[in-house]
Structure 1
Amino acid sequence: MDITEHILSQHHQQRRMFALLDEIDPGDSDSLGAVWTQLARFLEVHAAAEEEIFYPEVLRVGRGAGGAESAAEETEDAIGDHNDIRDAVARANAERPGTDAWWKAVIDARLANSDHMAEEEREDLADFRRHADLGMRHELAVKFLVFEAKHAGGIDSSDKDPERYVAQNQ
C-alpha cells in the first residue's frame, strides 16, 4: 500500500463519479442527488484526509516538483484548491439536483477538482514519491484509509487559510 497510489486511485474514482452524473437522465433529480451526495462526501473526506495525513508530510520531506519551487508552495496551492472545491460543493448542495444552478455548481466543482488533481499529480505526488521512502508511504496510506473509514459519513468541510495551514504544519 502506497499513499501516492491510493490518492491516484481515488482521483480516478472521482473522475468516474463525475462522468456517471453525465450518464443519468437530466430529469431524474433523485438519481442525480443520490450520486452527487456520495461524490460530494467523497470529495470532502478525501480533501480532509489529505490535509490531515498527507500534506503535513509533504511539507516535512518535499522540496518542490513539477514547476513548484517548494513543498510549501505546492501545499498552499492545494489547500486553496480544496477550498475552491468545497465552495462549489456547498453551492451544489444548496440547489435542487438537476436544475441549471445545480449543474453550474457541479461543473464548477468538476473543473476545480480536475485542475487540482492534475496539479497534485504533477507536483505533490511526484515530490513525495521522490523524497519519502516506501515505509513512510505505506504507513501514511494506512492512516489515510483509517481516517476515511472514521469519517465515511461526512466531515466538517470548512475552508482553510492556505498560509495558516502551511505555517501550522511546517
Structure 2
Amino acid sequence: MDITEVILEQHHQQRRMFAILDELPRDDIEALTVVWARLEVFLEVHAEAEELFFYPKLLQLGRGNPDGGVRDEVVDAVKDHNEIRDAVRASHDHEVGSDGWWTAVWEARKANDDHMGEEEREDLLDFRHHADLQTRHDIAVQVLTYEARHYTGIPIRDKDPEQYVAENG
C-alpha cells in the first residue's frame, strides 16, 4: 500500500462522485441531497487526513518543485482545502437543486479539480521521489484508518495555512 496511490484513487472517486451529480435528474432532490452529503463528507475527511498524516511528512521529506519549495506546496494545498471547505459550506446556504446550490457545488468542484491537479503534479511526485516505500505504506495505513474511523464525517474547519506549516514543518 502506498499513500500516493491511495490519494490518486481517492481523487478518481471524487471526480466520479461529481460526475454522478452531473448525471442525476435535476429534479431528484433526494438523490442530489444524499450524493452531495456523501461527497462533502468524503472531501473533508480526505482533506483532514492529508493534513494530519501526509503533509507533515511531506514537509519533513519533500524538496519542492520547480515552482517553489515544499513549504510553498503545503501552504498552497491547505489554502486549496479551505477553498473547497468554503464552497461546501456555501452549499448549505441554498436549497438542494437550486441555482445557488449548483453554483456552490460548481465552486467546490472547480477548487477540488485545481487542487487535485496541483497535488498530483507536485506533492505526490515530490513524495514519491523522497519518501521510502515503508514510509509511504505507514502513512497510507494511518490515512485509511482515520478515514474509516470518521466515515460519518467531521466538522468542517478552515486552517491558517502559514500557521499549519509553522506547526507541522
Classify the TM-score, shorter chain.
Answer: over 0.9
| Structure 1 segments of 4+ aligned residues over 2 angstroms from their partners | none
Q: C-alpha separation between the residues in 2 aligned to 1:21 and 1:131?
A: 37
Q: C-alpha separation between the residues in 2 aligned to 1:72 and 1:108?
A: 26
Map 1:16-165 onto structure 2 (within 5 A).
Answer: 16-65=16-65, 67-165=66-164
Give the aligned residue type for 1:54: F
Q: C-alpha separation between the residues in 2 aligned to 1:133 and 1:41?
A: 30
Q: C-alpha separation between the residues in 2 aligned to 1:34 and 1:123?
A: 33
RMSD: 0.7
Give the aligned residue type for 2:101: W
Aligned residue pairs, count: 169
1:62-95 Cα offsets, whole Å, 9 max, x none, are 0002x33211000000000000000000111232
Checking the alignment, whether the CA contact within 8 Å between 1:11 and 1:117 is kept in structure 2 is yes
Checking the alignment, whether the CA contact within 8 Å between 1:63 and 1:69 is kept in structure 2 is no
1:26-62 Cα offsets, whole Å, 9 max, x none, are 0111110010000000000000000001000000000
Structure 1 unmatched runs, 5+: none
Checking the alignment, whether the CA contact within 8 Å between 1:83 and 1:159 is kept in structure 2 is yes
Q: C-alpha separation between the residues in 1 aligned to 2:93 and 2:38?
A: 15
Q: C-alpha separation between the residues in 2 aligned to 1:46 and 1:75?
A: 15
Give the aligned residue type for 2:133: L
Instruction: Report the alpha carbon displacement of residue 104 of structure 1 after superposing the two structures with TM.
Output: 0.1
Identity among equivalent positions (%) equals 58
Q: C-alpha separation between the residues in 1 aligned to 2:67 and 2:13?
A: 26
**Structure 2 partner of 1:15:** 15
Checking the alignment, whether the CA contact within 8 Å between 1:29 and 1:96 is kept in structure 2 is no
TM-score by length of 2: 0.98
